[in-house]
Copies of this chain bind each other. A is one copy, B any other.
């Protein structure tokens, strides 16, 4: 998402082969994920020559929180640190209270991070998305 957001901000569609190259990840695997994200409304796609994937201005405002919830549901938001099904405020596991502020911090971080927030830093190589050690 970060990669497509940054590259499509130049006003073009990012070809599906470009993404796995940029991330050093398997082509078809990434394709599946991009198609899924398109269906869920986080990406825009176009078929045919010069087609590919893009993140619109509106889609740039989606947060990591939106993404995580759409893909994984509210697991991250609600689930117990120890994996217990019925851990809750009234029925806490031993680390429930300790984990509460941490969960909050994670959710805040996800909610504060928008898909389009780092286009500049990525363009200027201040932030990175690939396994740099593998770059020749």
Contacts and interface: CB of A to CB of B under 8 A. Distances in A.
Interface of A: 2, 64, 82, 84-87, 91-96, 98-99, 101-102, 105-106, 109, 112-113, 117-118, 121-122, 127-134
Given A99-B109, A101-B105, A131 B94 contact: no
Contacts of A93: 127-129
B92 A127 contact: yes
A98 B86 contact: no
A109 B102 contact: yes
Contacts of A96: 127
Contacts of A95: 64, 109, 113
A135 B67 CA distance: 35
B133 A84 contact: no
A8 to B, nearest CB: 16
A47 to B, nearest CB: 29
Contacts of A112: 98
23 contacts: A2-B94, A82-B129, A86-B128, A86-B131, A86-B132, A86-B133, A86-B134, A91-B132, A92-B127, A92-B128, A93-B127, A93-B128, A94-B113, A94-B117, A94-B118, A94-B121, A94-B129, A95-B109, A95-B113, A96-B127, A98-B113, A101-B105, A102-B105
